[in-house]
Structure 1
Amino acid sequence: MAQNAKIAGLTDELVHSILQFDPTTNKQAYKRAKDLAARGLRGHQYARTNQFDVKNIFAGLDEKCRIKNRDDLADALQLRLQKLEGISNRFKPEFLSLLLQLSDRPLENTRVEALDLLKPPSPPLQLTWNEILEGDPYSDEDIWKDIDYAVESSGDEQIPPKRKKQQPTPATSVDEDDTYDPGTCIDPTNDALVSDVEAARFWSSHPAEDGAKIDIMELQAVRETLFMLAGLQTSLFTVDKERSSVRVNARFKLSQAIPATIDHLLSQLASIGKDILRLRQWTRRPSTLPLIQTFEAATRKRLLDYDDRLSQLQRRYLVPKSPVAVSLLALYNDVLVESEQILRLSQIVSDVEPRLLINPFSHLEELFTQTTLAQMTLQKSSFDFFSTMLFDCLRTYLKPIRRWMENGELGANDETFFVFQNDSGSDVASMWHDRYVLRRNAQDQLRSPSFLQPAALKIFNTGKSVIFLKELGHGYALLNELDSEPSLEHHSVCGHSDDVPLSPFPELFNAGFERWIRSKYSLASASLRTHIFDTQGLMRILTIFQMLYLGSNGAVFENFANAIFERMDSGHRGWSDRYMLTELARSIFSDVLQAQDAEKIVVRSAKSKDQGPSVKGLAAVSVDYSLHWSILNITQRTAMPIYQQFHTALLQTYRVKYLLQRARPTRSHKIKNAAQLIYKLQHRLTWFVDILRSYYTETVVAFTSRDMEAAMGKAEDIDQMADVHVKYVAKLQERALLSSDLQPLHKAVIEMLDVGVLFAKTVTELDGSKTVRTRPSAPQRKSSAPLLDQVQLSDTDDDVEGDGGVAASKAARRSIGRSPTEALQMVDKEFTRLLPFITAGLRSVGRVGAEPMWEQLAERLEWECKKDRY
């Protein structure tokens, strides 16, 4: 523990010395840096190979070879081990251990003769004199023969005539040293040229009278002007670098022109030099942000090009190819043409400089605006100037975008990128929506260049898709399948034409940037979409949801609902045991689901607050389905309450249908007296419940699911899939009258279902038969089902009373103490009052919400009320 504490302290000191900022200002960055340092300093977890064990193994191998009568192999091994003793290497035990582990039965498979193949070839024998003399002996008789001196020799060559000697120079000490005289290497001085040079130094001249101005030539003024524009010190212009100002020196004049004209002309040139000087000084200021550094580097490059053009102007006057008329006015016009773009750039820098610290990419937006303006005004030179500069500066901004889209990585403390990690420890089930968010400013605007904002969502989703695939273990495949990205430069976007492009520059840029993003977005989104649909089975999961929660398979859902109702009516206290209900649901749904899918179903039952003759208590029964975290990022947990709400509405409908089927009257005396009213109410209530169930499953679920499946097939990424699912469940909730805006209508429907429950209870009591046992714990109750107990009123029961929707619980209380016939008459009265309220409400909201399903439901509910039916 002491060692760990010491290492932790040293790690803190190391991080402090490198980062040099207060950890309290950015705890997340400091914690990440500390973790990286701790992992780098952590000790090696693997032990070194024991060299003594290796030595003992080789000794044992040598002994084994000799015992097995393989002395030749033992001698060869011993010889090479002795040679290794003279070689020092810290990893020698590891090498020998590796060889031992790679060996395969050396006694049986090793042939000592094969070692001869490893011997290097013998070097060639050294040549001796005996071998040389054998081929060419020096005792040959020919070497002693006389030489024929008559043969033509080099002495017979013609000797060239001697050059005449030059006149000797006067003897000097240098001649005595056999060296040259330095004086002979110096050209004589031309006094006339010296006088001309001194005369050209007009700045050192003094006027003949005090207060008089020094007269200079126009060529001198041209040269001084070009020097001033290049940022050099001049005499004609006074440069104040601290204040970034350039003024004309009043000591000089041009006598060949009107003074006022010359002063105005020089003042205009000084104003140009002032703007350029301010731009040069801005590029020398240090900056820490890479975006601004790139902008400064691009500006310096344009200044170098501008200086090169000034040099060409100087060359025109210094080394003219033809006679040139020296004119300060002509120079001014040339300077205006050459300085047009650099002056506009200087104005851009002046405008964006105060905003760069707050908005570090404001220069990109300004360059984009200037490029668009130059194209609209058909200024080809300005368009090329600002367009190329825009793409040069954009190259740095694309680096974090490229890293995010290809690897799903973010730079440390990169405040210029519009994506940041909100919660690194968020649950993977909500990783897509919660872990990474878009950076926005105080005005809730995206913190990115305005011209990149249309593509920001694709950039954001591409990086999240890469991270998503990495979490699924498929991120490595993206790096191998990435194609070369298309170029995003001036020529690739705007073309190579010498004219201004006809299409607007924003459209050209968006098309080029879309191609650049598509090269990365398509692969990531397609890979993730394939994995979600094929591997995880998104559409299969949604189909299972339709069967579990939406009753798309009516036969199976009815079997499940009836099984629950039978357990409820049995009167046993353990009917709501979640283990029993879960096994019941799995066994029923296994007929239409695969075994691994049915095992994911879990049914729960909470204690209900509504213990009266109402279907509201069925909300306590809920169905859960275990989902993979990748699917949960699409369905989202917020959608599950809506599924449960729809599931409860279906259970309530099936509950009333279940009770009505089991409340058929017999031929008893009591029934005969109210038979007409009972059959009438039974028909009406059954008809209402059947229409409601048909509307839920055959209209709402069928049409809404069809639209959802079509939209889901077109979704490209998880954002679009999640958006389709959110709209899907919202549409289900609204069309099924379950949304908060339609609460009065839904409440009226529940009251109508409660009327059906009250009717079934009344018929059962009137018949006097105990078709359903009551709970043993409540023998005093006369209800035929646990949900048909004595009502407990709440404050919300009378919410729709003023609109014709009388609460069924209130009607149930009124029925206490009355005869069964009176209770049936009250049920008929409540049905007659609630049905017009529901149909009128459906027509009203159908006109407002433009939902034809509600109009159709109202038409079906009013079918019995119309007299012109045949």
Structure 2
Amino acid sequence: MAQNTRISGLTDELIQSILKFDPATNKHAYKHAKDIASRNLRGHQYARTNQFEVTASLAGLDEKFRIKSRDDLADALQVRLQKLDGYTNKYKPDLLSLLLQLADRPLENTQVEALELLRPPSPPPPLTWSEILHDDPYSDEEIWKDVDYGGDSSGDDRTPKKRAKLQASPPTSVDGDESYDPESCVTSADKELVAKLEAAQFWSSVASERDSEFEITELQAVRETLFMLAGLQTNLYQIDKKQHNIRLNSKYVLNHARPATMGHLLSQFAHTGNCVGQLRQWTGKVSTSPLIQTFEAAVRKRLLLFDRSLSTLQHEHLIPQAPIPVSLLQLYSDVQTLSMPILRLSRIVSDIEPQLLKNPFSHLEALFEHTTLSQMTLEVEVFSYMSGVFFECLQTYLKPIRRWMEAGELGSDEDTFFVFANDSSSDTNSLWHDRYVLRRDGQNKLRSPSFLQPAAKKIFNTGKSVVFLKELGIYDTDSHALAPEPHVDHATVCGASNEMPLSPFPELFQTAFDGWIRSKYSVASTVLRNYIFKTDGLMHVLNVFEILYLGRNGAVFEDFASAVFERIDARRRGWSDRYILTELARGVFGTVLATSNADKIVVRSMKAKAQGKSVKGLAAVSIRYALPWSLQNIIQRSSIFVYQEVFTFLVQVYRVKYLVQRLRTRRPAKPRSNLYYKLQHRLTWFIDMVRSYLTETVIFFTTLDMNTSMEKAEDIDEMAHIHTKYTMKLHERALLSTDVKPIHKAIIEVLDLGVLFAQAKSTDHKHDAAPKTKKTQLSGRKSTAPVLVEDVSDDDEDAKSGSDDGVKNRTDQSPREILKMVDREFERLLPFITAGLRSVGRVGAEPMWEQLADRLEWAGKKDRVY
């Protein structure tokens, strides 16, 4: 009831503030307004703001900022939301909801720089003594003068006596008196301490007694040994500067040890000192290679750590915290433990020093091998030691790799890098394959550390991808700065624990290094791959090549071939005009290709000496398709020749099919012989089998495998490799390679038999269709049909000259005799082809060759005697 009463009172106040009249004057209007207000207020009792919706809205706003590349705005929002988490207030969701509703396009209208205006001014720095002294220094001479505290006091009678005493004291330097004696500041020396110090200098006694032995204490031997290991001059050990060798001075002996025993032990110390001394001497040399300089700096760092360990041992013997026994044997054990890693390092330096001039990264390989070996032998300290030196030196070698993979540039130290510019002025259509190459030695081995060679190809391709993108003008130099670079150090590879990792070090390193490579490889390769596939349309161009060269659309390919054959059979002088053939090809292939693609077709031709007598003359016609320079790095020039050879082979098959089909359409003047139908059937079968083998088996399955692999390719190098492998496989399966050249030559001879068969029947048909009045005159003439003879010329020369490849005119044979000769040659060539296909198929070359042999022999099994 109290709540309703309060709401009623507030409603009355609301109505009076809006209507502005007295309820007593117009009760009906006032009651009507109160009913309306009460009804609306009861219908709109809003609940509190949903804090989860507010949180979701803020998260969505943050995600929107980051998608729109406004990470600065998103980070600023997150910082302020984190600060709000520390405040507890029940109205906080309402306030945040209000701010969200008041927001007006924050992505476009917000400037992060304006937030600096809200930052409170920083408090002034605290006042320091240096600032105080700078303004008011206390070096004034007046503050050092004596002050007369009794100048105005009542005790003036005693003042002269005090001043007299002060004047009797020696003058100070402040008064400028130079008669001050400096010996008054020197304290007297302790004679016993001086005697002990002189006794400790045992070498002074030996100097007076050169020919006699001198006994020293074990503590003195320990001290001299530690000095020697630290590279300092000692008397117990003599340093030969010419031989760079440390020798033991035999004049000193221990009174409680045999000289031989002591000499052997101290010789072991001298050997350790020799190894460490050689390491110190090597670090003093000047080197110009950044790789060797980094290695020298890492060695100096380890020498400094070793010297600090020796200083700790000296401190334990000179100022022990508790009484300890002085023992050279214990010192030897301690030194062996301390020096074991650095002795390994000294051995590495002595082994690789002669090779550093020829192989500046040999120390990386040696460190990698010793790190792996120490892990295998479970030497934890040596493993950590070698691993640390290795990763320090590796960072310098990663600098040119990073520059190459991020910017596509070779620095001034490219002589130590395994990538170099072979031809910086090469054309862009061969940029990927010719401009940059891998550096190799005389044995054709890659000049890079052996542990990096598995990733060398990916490093090489990443840099070339960056150069490729720069040539295309689409490379963003700041793309690598957005993603954090993984670290390649001991903690990342082997873990932060001091324990030995279980996995082998080479595997751990390769995993970490592959992650480092992937962080840079994915950026350039992904952008370039998308450009090649989407912008340049690689797969679309490959489909166009299938239509132009490989007869993917058999109807359109046959239309173009038939149009060329008609011009050849018409014996027009300009049948091979490249402009006419180009327009013909664009018109025919333009029915299935876009206009922009059809306009890129160019037909080239060479003048043939004889038309129609041999299918080899068709090699004079070739097709070219204009490719962008980026795709020419994938579809290389050598691959175009393979496409052209397959195109020529298909056209040759279609030529014989075209001639044989024309014989079927003609109506014979007299019944034809069984030999004619036999040859027509066998030639038709042979042509159909060869055409079906080329298009439906070779081209279809080889192209299908290539398209599947091309979709998975990551970079241009892999794309080019897949396409080159595809053309090689296509060239081999289409019987165009050198290994099966005799089989291909036999097939061409059979195709020439088809041409000869068609020409012979065409001549016979003309004789049969001639008028009877001229039959007697023509009957005396002999046929001019060409006949096939053995081919001894080279195929390439025949293709260029357009010769008839052994087919010459014979005037002494009738058409019937020519048909018999064609039948004999066919019977001779077909077994040779099938036997050859089976023999090369059995050795594991291509199983589809045996399938082709089975198809070709199928008709031969149905032969009858005619």
**TM-score between both structures, scaled by the size of structure 2:** 0.75
Provide closer, same or farther for how the CA distance between residues 572 and 850 of structure 1 changes in structure 2, counting only shifts above 3 A.
closer
Say whether 1:174 aligns with 2:189: no
Provide closer, same or farther for how the CA distance between residues 610 and 347 of structure 1 changes in structure 2, counting only shifts above 3 A.
farther
* Correspondence list, 1:284-295, <5 A: 284-295=284-295
Aligned to 1:861: 856
Aligned to 1:341: 341
Say whether 1:202 aligns with 2:202: yes
Indicate if the aligned counterparts of 1:665 and 1:763 stay in contact, CA closer than 8 A.
no
- Alignment partners' CA distance in 2, 1:792 and 1:829: 11
Counterpart selection for 1:704 from 702, 705, 708: 702
3-state SS of 1:420 partner: strand
Extract unaligned runs of 5+ from structure 1. Answer: 1-164, 772-779, 800-806
- Larger deviation: 549-558 or 214-223? 214-223
Amino acid at match of 2:320: P
Amino acid at match of 2:677: Y
- Alignment partners' CA distance in 2, 1:341 and 1:173: 64
- Alignment partners' CA distance in 2, 1:759 and 1:830: 11
Indicate if the aligned counterparts of 1:612 and 1:790 stay in contact, CA closer than 8 A.
no
- Alignment partners' CA distance in 1, 2:477 and 2:609: 54
Residue 182 of structure 1: how far off its partner (Å): 6.0
Residue 172 of structure 1: how far off its partner (Å): 5.3
- Alignment partners' CA distance in 2, 1:652 and 1:357: 62
Indicate if the aligned counterparts of 1:688 and 1:861 stay in contact, CA closer than 8 A.
yes
Provide closer, same or farther for how the CA distance between residues 445 and 183 of structure 1 changes in structure 2, counting only shifts above 3 A.
same
Residue 171 of structure 1: how far off its partner (Å): 5.1
Aligned to 1:834: 829
Residue 209 of structure 1: how far off its partner (Å): 6.2
Counterpart selection for 1:680 from 678, 681, 698: 678
Counterpart selection for 1:695 from 688, 693, 704: 693
Residue 794 of structure 1: how far off its partner (Å): 7.9
Provide closer, same or farther for how the CA distance between residues 501 and 176 of structure 1 changes in structure 2, counting only shifts above 3 A.
closer
Extract unaligned runs of 5+ from structure 2. Answer: 1-161, 770-777, 796-802
Aligned to 1:718: 716
- Alignment partners' CA distance in 1, 2:612 and 2:559: 25
Q: Matched residue pairs, number?
A: 686
- Alignment partners' CA distance in 1, 2:278 and 2:689: 81
3-state SS of 1:487 partner: coil
- Alignment partners' CA distance in 1, 2:208 and 2:622: 110
- Alignment partners' CA distance in 2, 1:205 and 1:277: 28
Amino acid at match of 2:755: V
Aligned to 1:275: 275
* Correspondence list, 1:437-448, <5 A: 437-448=437-448
Say whether 1:565 aligns with 2:602: no
Indicate if the aligned counterparts of 2:406 and 2:480 stay in contact, CA closer than 8 A.
no
3-state SS of 1:412 partner: coil
- Alignment partners' CA distance in 2, 1:376 and 1:457: 29
- Alignment partners' CA distance in 2, 1:746 and 1:755: 14
Say whether 1:847 aligns with 2:851: no
- Alignment partners' CA distance in 2, 1:176 and 1:825: 139
Amino acid at match of 2:712: K
Task: Provide, for residues 581-631 of structure 1, a one-character-per-residue CA deviation record: whole Å limited to 9, x for no partner.
Answer: 111111111111111111000001102356562100000000000000110
Aligned to 1:317: 317
Aligned to 2:749: 751
Amino acid at match of 1:764: S
- Alignment partners' CA distance in 2, 1:759 and 1:503: 74
Residue 544 of structure 1: how far off its partner (Å): 0.4
Residue 498 of structure 1: how far off its partner (Å): 2.0
Provide closer, same or farther for how the CA distance between residues 808 and 691 of structure 1 changes in structure 2, counting only shifts above 3 A.
farther
Residue 474 of structure 1: how far off its partner (Å): 1.0
Provide closer, same or farther for how the CA distance between residues 172 and 797 of structure 1 changes in structure 2, counting only shifts above 3 A.
closer
Amino acid at match of 1:466: V
- Alignment partners' CA distance in 2, 1:717 and 1:705: 19
Residue 798 of structure 1: how far off its partner (Å): 11
- Alignment partners' CA distance in 2, 1:665 and 1:767: 12
Amino acid at match of 1:842: L
Aligned to 1:604: 604
Task: Provide, for residues 711-745 of structure 1, a one-character-per-residue CA deviation record: whole Å limited to 9, x for no partner.
Answer: 11111111111111111111111111111111110
- Alignment partners' CA distance in 2, 1:449 and 1:813: 65
Amino acid at match of 1:370: H
Aligned to 1:112: none
Provide closer, same or farther for how the CA distance between residues 682 and 868 of structure 1 changes in structure 2, counting only shifts above 3 A.
closer
* Correspondence list, 1:527-676, <5 A: 527-608=527-608, 613-664=613-664, 671-672=670-671, 674-676=672-674
- Alignment partners' CA distance in 1, 2:208 and 2:814: 137
Indicate if the aligned counterparts of 1:408 and 1:466 stay in contact, CA closer than 8 A.
yes
Indicate if the aligned counterparts of 1:576 and 1:605 stay in contact, CA closer than 8 A.
yes
* Correspondence list, 1:418-457, <5 A: 418-457=418-457
Amino acid at match of 2:754: G
Residue 709 of structure 1: how far off its partner (Å): 0.5
Provide closer, same or farther for how the CA distance between residues 865 and 760 of structure 1 changes in structure 2, counting only shifts above 3 A.
same
- Alignment partners' CA distance in 1, 2:793 and 2:221: 99
Aligned to 2:503: 503
- Alignment partners' CA distance in 2, 1:586 and 1:717: 33
Residue 250 of structure 1: how far off its partner (Å): 2.3
- Alignment partners' CA distance in 2, 1:268 and 1:196: 30
- Alignment partners' CA distance in 2, 1:543 and 1:175: 106
3-state SS of 1:616 partner: helix
Provide closer, same or farther for how the CA distance between residues 702 and 192 of structure 1 changes in structure 2, counting only shifts above 3 A.
same
Indicate if the aligned counterparts of 1:352 and 1:363 stay in contact, CA closer than 8 A.
yes
Aligned to 2:385: 385
Indicate if the aligned counterparts of 1:752 and 1:808 stay in contact, CA closer than 8 A.
no
Residue 574 of structure 1: how far off its partner (Å): 1.2
- Alignment partners' CA distance in 1, 2:663 and 2:819: 13
- Alignment partners' CA distance in 2, 1:666 and 1:371: 86
- Alignment partners' CA distance in 2, 1:350 and 1:643: 58
Provide closer, same or farther for how the CA distance between residues 459 and 609 of structure 1 changes in structure 2, counting only shifts above 3 A.
farther
Indicate if the aligned counterparts of 1:422 and 1:436 stay in contact, CA closer than 8 A.
yes
Provide closer, same or farther for how the CA distance between residues 227 and 532 of structure 1 changes in structure 2, counting only shifts above 3 A.
same
Provide closer, same or farther for how the CA distance between residues 832 and 289 of structure 1 changes in structure 2, counting only shifts above 3 A.
same
- Alignment partners' CA distance in 2, 1:839 and 1:488: 61
3-state SS of 2:859 partner: coil
- Alignment partners' CA distance in 2, 1:612 and 1:177: 126
Aligned to 1:242: 242
Aligned to 2:27: none
Provide closer, same or farther for how the CA distance between residues 797 and 675 of structure 1 changes in structure 2, counting only shifts above 3 A.
farther
- Alignment partners' CA distance in 1, 2:271 and 2:462: 50
Indicate if the aligned counterparts of 1:611 and 1:791 stay in contact, CA closer than 8 A.
no
- Larger deviation: 187-196 or 369-378? 187-196
Amino acid at match of 2:835: A
Indicate if the aligned counterparts of 2:756 and 2:785 stay in contact, CA closer than 8 A.
no
Amino acid at match of 1:615: V
Say whether 1:297 aligns with 2:297: yes
Amino acid at match of 1:754: D
Task: Provide, for residues 2-38 of structure 1, a one-character-per-residue CA deviation record: whole Å limited to 9, x for no partner.
Answer: xxxxxxxxxxxxxxxxxxxxxxxxxxxxxxxxxxxxx
Indicate if the aligned counterparts of 2:480 and 2:520 stay in contact, CA closer than 8 A.
no
* Correspondence list, 1:758-777, <5 A: 758-768=756-766
- Larger deviation: 632-641 or 610-619? 610-619
Provide closer, same or farther for how the CA distance between residues 326 and 459 of structure 1 changes in structure 2, counting only shifts above 3 A.
same
Residue 173 of structure 1: how far off its partner (Å): 3.9
3-state SS of 2:247 partner: strand
Task: Provide, for residues 222-252 of structure 1, a one-character-per-residue CA deviation record: whole Å limited to 9, x for no partner.
Answer: 1111111001111111112332111112232
- Alignment partners' CA distance in 2, 1:695 and 1:176: 116
Provide closer, same or farther for how the CA distance between residues 536 and 864 of structure 1 changes in structure 2, counting only shifts above 3 A.
same
3-state SS of 1:842 partner: helix
Residue 188 of structure 1: how far off its partner (Å): 3.0
Indicate if the aligned counterparts of 2:224 and 2:235 stay in contact, CA closer than 8 A.
yes
- Alignment partners' CA distance in 2, 1:591 and 1:631: 24
Residue 519 of structure 1: how far off its partner (Å): 0.4
Indicate if the aligned counterparts of 2:616 and 2:805 stay in contact, CA closer than 8 A.
no
* Correspondence list, 1:401-416, <5 A: 401-412=401-412, 414-416=414-416
3-state SS of 2:575 partner: helix
Residue 200 of structure 1: how far off its partner (Å): 1.1
Amino acid at match of 1:394: L
Provide closer, same or farther for how the CA distance between residues 833 and 797 of structure 1 changes in structure 2, counting only shifts above 3 A.
farther
* Correspondence list, 1:361-400, <5 A: 361-400=361-400
Amino acid at match of 1:855: E
